[in-house]
Structures are given as C-alpha cells and as structure tokens.
Chains A and B, each alone.
Chain A
Amino acid sequence: MHISVSEMRRVTLIEVSGRVDSLSATKLGEALNEQIEAGHIQLVLDLSNVEYISSAGLREIVSAAKKVRSSGGDLRIASPSQRVRDVLQLAGLLELFQIFPTQVEAVGSF
C-alpha cells in the first residue's frame, strides 16, 4: 500500500494505492490521524488505485470520518473500484459517505 497526501486550498487529498488489508490498514489510520490532528478536517480519500480493501481498512476510514464530522468537517471518497464499492456496500457504508466518480468532483464538492 502507498499513501500520498497533498494539501490543497480547502481540502486535503489523500491518495491510496495497493492493498488496504489488516497488515497495512494501521498505516492508513496513522496518515488520516496525522491530518486530523493538524486541523485538516476536509478530507478527500482517493481510492481509485486501491485493488483490495478489508474490514480493517474500513475501520480506519469510519473512525477518521467520525472524528472529522464531529469537528464540522467531512471525509469524502473519490472513484472507488467496483470491488472496493462492493465491500463498502456489504458493510452498509455506501450510503453514509459522499462518494464521487472523480477526484476533481470530490475536491470541488467542499
């Protein structure tokens, strides 16, 4: 798994690629927390290059989303693959997140 973070004017963009599994999920959680602790609460998580995600990855995303929302921010998801979308659906999370087909739309939504 690889994570890259870019700070934009209103939004922090977090692009993830590879496998988000029980081994790598902690790293994703740490990256998200680092942003939240720095006061960045408008987050876009770009999942277009994530080929696989398990419940361990969802756990980190849910926990970060709860934190930013309680401070008035949001975590929005950009371009998940069908496989990732299926897992979000299975967890009943698809309706709880704003999901955008492209990164540009997700960033522009803030």
Chain B
Amino acid sequence: MPQERRFILQGELAYVPEACQFVRESARLFGLSDKQADDCELATEEWCTNIIEHGYAKHGLQGKIEIVCQALPNAFRITIYDDSPPFDPTTLPRPDRSAPLSDRQPGGLGWFFIQELMDTVQYEYRNGRNTLIMTQHNPNVSALPRAEPDSAFAARTLANGVRVITPSGRIDSTTGRQFEAALNAQLEAGFNRIVVEMQTVSYISSTGLKALLSAQRRAQAQGGGIALAALTRRVRDVFELSGFDTIFTIANATDEAARALG
C-alpha cells in the first residue's frame, strides 16, 4: 500500500468536492476513524475554498492546488500547496462565537474550523508557495509500508482500504490450511477488513469454515471484519446448513461486501 497519495486540482470551486473525497478516502485508507475522516474532509474544503476565493479569484488569478496525504507514525498528514500570493491565515481574527446573531459576521469561520477540527495546523510560505500542513493523530496510522503479504491466492486492496482475496477451487482439509495461512498473513499485515471473493470456490469443507471463523474473530477484535462475496449455490448451502451464514456478511458482489465492512 502506498504511504503517500497526491491529488492536483484546478483552483476552482467545481473541483473541490472531488478533492474532499480524495482526502476522506486517504484518511480512511491510512487508518483514521470515520469522524476523523469527516473532519479532514471539512478542513480540506475550508482551506481550498479560501485559496480559491481569497488567493486566486480575488487577485484575478488562476492556479492549481496540490494536496498530499501521508501516513506518519501514529498520524495522518495533509499538506496543501498553492501558488497564490502569500497569505498567512494565522493573523486572522478569531470569530466571536458568543455574539448574538445580529452581530455575527456571516463569514470568517473557515480558518477557525480548520484549527478546531485538526490536531495540528501549521502555515508556511515555502519555495514560493503557500503551504498548509495539518495532522490528525491516530495510533492506527502506520508509517511503515505494508509489505505485500504472502498469499497462495490473488489479493488486492480497494480504494477504501478493504483487502480482497480470491481463493479458487476446493477449500478442503488439505488446501484449508493454505487458506487459513493466507487469511492470517493479511491480518498480520494490518488488513483487518477483508472480503473473500468466492465465485471460483467450488467446495468448502469444515476446515475452510474454521479458518474463516478464526479470521473473523481476529478481524473483529481489531475493529474490522470478514465479509464474503459471490458464493456459488453449493457453497452458500454449506454456509446456510452450518449456520455460518449468520456469522458473516454475505453479499452478491465484492463492492457490496466491502461497503458492509465500512
């Protein structure tokens, strides 16, 4: 998994929602909670809007905005660069949040929001560019590149950080152990939200079920879970007869299963 993601947008309001979506997705991918991802999204909109309205448009300029999201040890960092004239937001007055409505200035909340929403915020004018560095702390964020775990099966990572593995053929008492090892390797590599795509699994024995059950317990203990997608009729019958269909989210499609994992 990459430890840095980059997004460049044209400095126009029309592109801001996409930038927010990118930051939100990166925050989740690198291990922040939903609430923290919400806060990163809002802080990003507030700063990009500031750049566009006060940096570029007010001076009749056009320019780009560059956003870099990084995983640091226990923290997620968003750095936003722009080429508008130097603008130090730290000199802005704090809005009076106790004033009655009639005395409220309609604007001026954006910078205040950013400071309140993020754990640290730092402004610099660096190499001719406005540079805003914001971080959000979370022990789930790791700076270490996640090694591609060994797996006998095809594996990939979706944009929301959910890991997908695709076993095939028969999962019986022999191949069941290989399957268990593959699931464990994913969990040990830090992937605790896993979709098992089963469209090419023709048969699953109790060894395979046990491997899934133990992986489910481990994943849930880490705040994640295992979901199953695209089961054949025969495999689905095994889950229903054993009652295992109540232990896992079973979806028709992979993206649906991934959404169920959040």
Q: Are B16 and A62 in contact (CB under 8 A)?
A: no
> Looking at chain B's contact residues, is the secondary structure mostly helix, strand, loop, or mixed?
helix
In the bound complex, what is the Cα–Cα distance between A96 and B98 (angstroms)?
9
Q: Is B14 an interface residue (CB 8 A)?
A: yes
How far, in Å, is A91 (CB) from chain B's closest CB? 5
Residues A91 and B109 in contact in the complex (CB < 8 Å), given A22-B49, A54-B49, A69-B101: yes
Chain A 54-94 near chain B by CB (<8 Å), digits 1 or 0 = 11101110110110011000000000000100010011100
Number of A-B contacts (CB under 8 A): 63
Q: Of B46, B101, B106, which contacts A54 at CB under 8 A?
A: B46
In the complex where A55-B113, A63-B106 touch, is A23 in contact with B13 (Cβ < 8 A)?
yes
Contacts of A62 in B (CB 8 A): 101, 104, 106
Q: Which residue of A lies closest to B109 (CB)?
A: A55
Is A52 in the interface zone, CB < 8 Å from B? yes
B48 cross-chain contacts in A, Cβ below 8 A: 22
15 contacts between A and B (CB under 8 A): A19-B17, A21-B16, A21-B20, A22-B45, A22-B48, A54-B49, A55-B109, A63-B106, A65-B101, A69-B102, A83-B38, A90-B117, A91-B95, A91-B97, A92-B97
- B interface with A by C-beta (< 8 Å): 13-14, 16-17, 20, 38, 41-42, 45-46, 48-49, 52-53, 95, 97-98, 100-102, 104, 106-107, 109-110, 113, 116-117
